[in-house]
Structures are given as C-alpha cells and as structure tokens.
Amino acid sequence: MHEAAARNGITARFGLDFPSFALDVDLVLPARGVTAIFGPSGSGKTTVLRCVAGLERATTGFLAYDGQVWQDEARRVFVPTHRRPIGVVFQEASLFQHLSVMGNLKYGMTRAGLSPEQAGLDAIVALLGIEHLLARGTKTLSGGERQRIAIARALLRRPRLLLMDEPLAALDLKRKSEILPYLERLHDELDIPILYVSHAPEEVARLADHLVLMDGGKVIAQGPLSETMGRLDLASRFADDVSVVLPVTIGAHDDDDLTRLDFASGAIVVGRRPEPVGRKLRCRIRARDVSLSLGNHADMSIVNILPATVTALGETPVPGHILVETALSGGERLVARITKRSSTQLGIRPGVPVYAQVKAVALFGE
C-alpha cells in the first residue's frame, strides 16, 4: 500500500526512540506545493525532516518519494543523504567564509556535477534576487541575504525535493519580512515540493498548501491548509491565532481607493491593492478579526458583512471568549472569536443564522 501511495508524493512512516523522546509518524504528503510541519518546540519536526533527508536513520522506517524507495528497514534499504535528490536549508546558513557568494554557489553546483547552465544558475540567482551580491564576501551579508544564498545553493543541486528547517527562525522581524516574498516566489515558481518546518502560524498561513501538525513525536492532524488551519478542535495548537485561509481573486479597483476581493461566498472590500484585476491571492482571516451579529444593520453596510450559519462552537485559551465556526453561503468556513457574554446574548448555537463582520484581513500571493 505504501509503495503505491508513494508514486504520487512522499510517503513517510518512521519510528525512532531517543532516550527521552519517541517519534512515531505516518505521513502521506502531496507531490506539489509547500507542506508545513508545524508544532511546538520539541514535538519532533526537525527529527522528521532529518529522517527524510537521511541525516537520521529511523529504527523502523519506510520512506518513498515519487515511487523511489529511500528507506525500507524491513528490507534493510537505506539510501544515504548524498544519493537523495534533495536540497536542505537549515535555520542558520552555513556559508564558507573564505569563498565569495559566487564561490559558495559554485561549490554547490560542482559537488552535484552540474555546469552553471545545467544547474540553471541565472534563473535561480534571479529568483532569489541575489545578482548584486555575487561578488561579495559572505562576512558582511545580513541574515536574510545569507539565507537567500543558502536557498540558492540548495536549489543549484537541482533537487527534486526541498527541505527547509525553520529558515526564518534566526532572523529578526524586519529580515523575516524581507525574505518572505522570496519564499512566496519559490512556492509559485518551483515545481518541486517543499517540506517546511515552522512553529510560526503566520508563515504557515502565508506559504503552506498542506499542513502536518505535530505534538509529542506524533502527527495530530494532516490535510490541506484550508481544512486544517481553522479547525476548532485544533484551535489550542494555534494559541490565540486561529485563522482561515481563503483563496480570493482581485475583483475590481474602485475610484475611492478600495479593492474588492471576490470569493465563492461574496466579496470583501479592502484598501487599494497593487495587484491587477483577476490576480489570485490568499486571504488570511483571523478569528479575532471576525465579529458576529444577528441582523444586517443598514448603517454597517459599508463594511464587510457576510451572511453565515453557525456550525460549531469551540474553546479558545483566551479567557472569557469562545470560537464560533460558521459556514458562508458558498461553502467556505469562517471562524469568529467572540466573548462568551455576547454568545449568550445572541443565542449563538449551531444552526443560527448570523452576519459575520470581517474587520481585517491579511493578503498574500497565492
């Protein structure tokens, strides 16, 4: 069964015992897009990635990528790291200090036995926006620049799978926001899958298509981002940052500097966006930015109010509040975080028709 599933993506089943930690995972991951491995510190995210890379050998393990078996302990098969067609990017870019940026890039290509043309050097340099850094030494680079070089170096081996272990964790907020657009470009332009370890919900919302949620060495949930991120039963995993991610299309730019975002259930109006009409984006709506009312008050008609039906109630770690899951007319889910008091006053329970008011959204490239 595992061999069959593996033809179309990654099948990973690992068991591993450290003295004070046991890993036991069973994953079937898509062959396209970004899969985020998300979970608290010590949950086993890095260990999973290291097992996929072959840097750690699971005691019981089966791993196949696109029909190729990389590990099968039942048959004593273990393909060493250097023979797996992978690129790996760690938290801290380990660049050679004595080489220039170009020297570092060439090192990656040469080890893979590729010429600059075969490796696609020009395209990868452009993708990461590092043309102006090629002649520089590595000592004076910022953390974000170093990571872009490390990503380029990993891609120059022409990997068929890119593994990234918290590539933004060592960067401050400013550097993070500098590098995120490049990661979005990887998502849009690479046709190889990316496994992306993170414990930051905003990175996951922005980059991932598929989510694997880990805790205590086990997989708690896995599935498409749109289905897993806003699940009420998983809410405590995201602390007070529960959100849904909806695919939207730029519908129109109005004269009064507003942009309409269309999606199956209607539209949301936001401040004017730079993208052209027709561009697809992903829209993150946090539960804390959604409120509920029973009536569609005319004086509120200029803001984003969407008719919805309550489908479920859930707990949140935020004192005095609850989460309310609603279904919009087009089938999308929206989660609101409201006070327990207003929930009681409004008589919120499954089946009740409500109006969801969206107070803020975050938009990212699709």
Cβ 234 to ligand ATP, closest distance in Å?
A: 17
Which of 6, 11, 38, 43 contacts ligand ATP by CB under 6 A? 43
Nearest to 28 by CA among 181, 197, 168, 219: 219
Cβ 96 to ligand ATP, closest distance in Å?
A: 25
Nearest to 104 by CA among 68, 155, 65: 155
Which one, 41 or 140, has the nearer CB to ligand ATP?
41
Residues 325 and 83: their CA atoms lie apart, in Å, by: 47
Measured in Å, how far apart are the chain's first and last C-alpha atoms? Answer: 33
Which one, 15 or 85, has the nearer CB to ligand ATP?
15
Q: Is 199 in the site for ligand ATP (CB under 6 A)?
A: yes
Per CB under 6 A, which of residues 278..337 are in contact with ligand ATP?
none
Applying CB under 6 A, the span of 17-25, 185-193, 274-282, 288-296 interacting with ligand ATP comes to 17-25
Which of 17, 21, 81, 122 contacts ligand ATP by CB under 6 A? 21
Which of 39, 54, 159, 230 contacts ligand ATP by CB under 6 A? 39
Which of 35, 46, 243, 357 contacts ligand ATP by CB under 6 A? 46
- Find the helix packing angle between 101-111 and 143-155, rounded to 10°: 20
Which one, 119 or 212, has the nearer CB to ligand ATP?
212
3-state secondary structure of 342: helix
Cα dist. 298→267, 302, 309 in Å? 17, 9, 20
Which of 5, 18, 294, 296 contacts ligand ATP by CB under 6 A? 18
3-state secondary structure of 152: helix
Tokens of 61: 């393990």
Which one, 199 or 273, has the nearer CB to ligand ATP?
199
Cβ 40 to ligand ATP, closest distance in Å?
A: 7
Cβ 47 to ligand ATP, closest distance in Å?
A: 3
- Tell me the site size for ligand ATP, rule CB under 6 A: 12
Q: Is 42 in the site for ligand ATP (CB under 6 A)?
A: yes
Q: Is 44 in the site for ligand ATP (CB under 6 A)?
A: yes
Tokens of 321: 């509040």
Give the containing element (helix H, strand E) for 176. helix 173-189
Q: Is 17 in the site for ligand ATP (CB under 6 A)?
A: no
Residues 335 and 177: their CA atoms lie apart, in Å, by: 26
Applying CB under 6 A, the span of 40-48, 116-124, 137-145, 235-243 interacting with ligand ATP comes to 40-48
Cβ-based neighbour number of residue 308 at 10 Å: 24
Residues 268 and 187: their CA atoms lie apart, in Å, by: 25
Applying CB under 6 A, the span of 18-26, 153-161, 205-213, 254-262 interacting with ligand ATP comes to 18-26
Which one, 11 or 43, has the nearer CB to ligand ATP?
43
Which one, 215 or 275, has the nearer CB to ligand ATP?
215
Which of 9, 34, 45, 288 contacts ligand ATP by CB under 6 A? 45
Instruction: Output the DSSP codes for 31-65.
Output: SSSEEEEE-STTSSHHHHHHHHHTSS--SEEEEEE
Cβ 163 to ligand ATP, closest distance in Å?
A: 13
Tokens of 25: 């995972």
Spatial contact of 312 and 320, defined as CB atoms under 8 Å apart: no
Q: Is 47 in the site for ligand ATP (CB under 6 A)?
A: yes
Residue 351: strand pairing partners: none
Spatial contact of 247 and 285, defined as CB atoms under 8 Å apart: no
Q: Is 41 in the site for ligand ATP (CB under 6 A)?
A: yes
3-state secondary structure of 339: strand
CA-based angle 226:231:235, to the nearest 5? Answer: 125
Encoded amino acid at 162, one letter: L
Which one, 29 or 48, has the nearer CB to ligand ATP?
48
Which one, 9 or 39, has the nearer CB to ligand ATP?
39
Residues 112 and 120: their CA atoms lie apart, in Å, by: 13
| Residues in touch with ligand ATP (CB under 6 A) | 18-19, 21, 39, 41-47, 199
